[in-house]
Structure 1
């Protein structure tokens, strides 16, 4: 897939790719991920026999710009700009912390045909310890101090809820250097996740603005709190259904996930 670019409303260059033929599908990544790392490009290839699939690098990642200061609303504008290039309204599938970005973009007028939402990390009850009130501030301080490794470990343990022993082994993993390259965008995702990690139920009416057919996906191997949070999300969206995917975890396997996504989009 070749790289193309669009200019977002604030002048930031946003890089994207497209592959395939058919109705447009736009994929939105979660933390760390972009076209060269994460599920979007493999999922796009699996979908490309039936859809024209757009993937893009969220600002600060890959080949996209990173105009400062960061403002979450600018990411909504980025998404809207790429969606317009795809020919909105489009189908959208978002992963992890990309989910709240998409849900808020719809609130601001983004036209969507269908929504696929894969594992929004919502802590809505006592099944997992919530993130502390100073989570975003501390994460930002680590990045400002150029302590990217410490920021990744803090994000994974305190934000994601990964066990301390697992997080301690992260620097030994093959993808560590890639994670460090995009670690400066973790405070961006932390802003999108501010309400999601507080351990409180979803406020009444929070997602009633979503009127497109929606499927909330969760892997069967994901922790209990992820199932609880996404069940609550599916109940908070009037048009949503809930689907548990056998053998899947938060690290979605494109070859196993895509057939279910295709089935939903084809309805």
Structure 2
């Protein structure tokens, strides 16, 4: 992997492949550049695709204290290596980061996000507050196993599945990334969709959810699409939070390629 320096001097590892308009993939919680490999391979025939390890993960460095601004600066550094104006696809909390970066002024014309996990509404905000407290308590005592299990439970993974996963080698890799769950938690604030901030997003935006995702997820993505000025919403039939690369790749290719073409005509 290649490396670039973020504004605070943190080394951020990234990989690029393909040829064409630049697209940066922004992973969600407990993901690394390797997590995005399958989607990157599907997009690479038409785009220059960049994947990267967000700070604190994989081959990237880290520095304390964590702030959302530093993650935005990391993404800006990676985008600068990709091209003058990139397109972004953010998965789950990576979608929240992509939106925050564009709202803060990152030069992006085309932005797609999949189910940023905001939890609006009184019950959702209370749930987010309780999960945040539990997460920080676990991390403060070094309970990485518990932190990963808490995240899995929040995303709908059954307890019996979590119990089985603990016996797989994959679990140790997830535990190694457990401290970054606090970063994703911070990205989501109190769980409310930040309507005032996202009203400044200028990119043409595609907000996507899965047809088999919970109703509250669809409602949240519709609310998000309503506050981003140039957004449209799409539901992918048969998809859940565990999005299949083969399902999203043609959607992204069509959105990025067609809108780039239209932009060049203007």
> Where does structure 2 lack aligned partners over 5 or more consecutive residues?
259-266
Q: Do the aligned residues in 2 keep the contact of 1:20 with 1:51 (CA within 8 Å)?
A: yes
Give the aligned partner of residue 192 of structure 1.
187
Deviation at 1:229, TM superposition (A): 0.6
Alignment of 1:100-119 (within 5 A): 100-119=96-115
Aligned to 2:8: 10
Gaps of 5+ in 1: none
- With over 3 angstroms needed to count, the CA separation of the structure-2 counterparts of 1:215 and 1:152, relative to structure 1, is same
Q: Is 1:171 aligned with 2:169?
A: no
| Secondary structure class of the residue paired with 1:191 | helix
Whether contact under 8 Å (1:88, 1:112) holds in the other structure is no
Q: How does 1:238-249 map to 2 (within 5 A)?
A: 238-249=229-240
For the pair 1:87 / 2:78, whether they are aligned, the reply is no
Q: Provide closer, same or farther for how the CA distance between residues 127 and 244 of structure 1 changes in structure 2, counting only shifts above 3 A.
A: farther
2:243 maps to what in 1? 252
Alpha-carbon contact 2:68-2:186 (below 8 Å) kept: yes
TM-score, length of structure 1 as denominator length:
0.89
Distance 1:105 1:64 in 2: 19
Find the aligned partners of 1:221 and 1:126 in 2 and give their Cα distance. Answer: 24
2:195, 2:143 → 1: CA distance? 39
Offset from partner CA, 1:180-234 (integer Å, 9 cap, x none): 12111111111012232xxx5x465342111211111111121111111101111
Structure 1 CA distance for aligned equivalents of residues 204 and 119 of structure 2: 24
Task: State the alpha-carbon separation in 1 of the partners of residues 101 and 221 from structure 2.
Answer: 19
- Take 1:77 and 1:66, find their aligned partners in 2: how far apart are those partners? 13
The farther-off stretch of 212-221 and 123-132 is 123-132
1:76 matched to which residue of 2?
A: 72
CA distances 1:112-157 after superposition (whole Å, capped 9, x unpaired): 0200101111223478685242533431231232211111122233
Provide the TM-score with structure 2 as the length reference.
Answer: 0.90
Q: SS of the counterpart of 1:215?
A: strand
Quote the residue 1:209 is aligned against: 200
Supply the distance in 1 between the matched residues of 2:158 and 2:166 (Cα, whole angstroms): 15
Rounded to whole Å, the distance in 2 between the matches of 1:21 and 1:29 is 21
Query: Is this contact kept in 2: 1:128–1:225, CA < 8 A?
Result: no
Larger CA deviation: 87-96 vs 136-145? 136-145
Instruction: Say which structure is richer in helix.
Output: 2
Q: Is the 8 A contact 2:100 2:198 kept in 1?
A: no
The reply to whether residue 120 of structure 1 matches residue 111 of structure 2 is: no
Which residue in the other structure is 2:32 paired with?
34
Distance 2:181 2:132 in 1: 9
Please, what is the CA RMSD of the aligned residues?
2.0
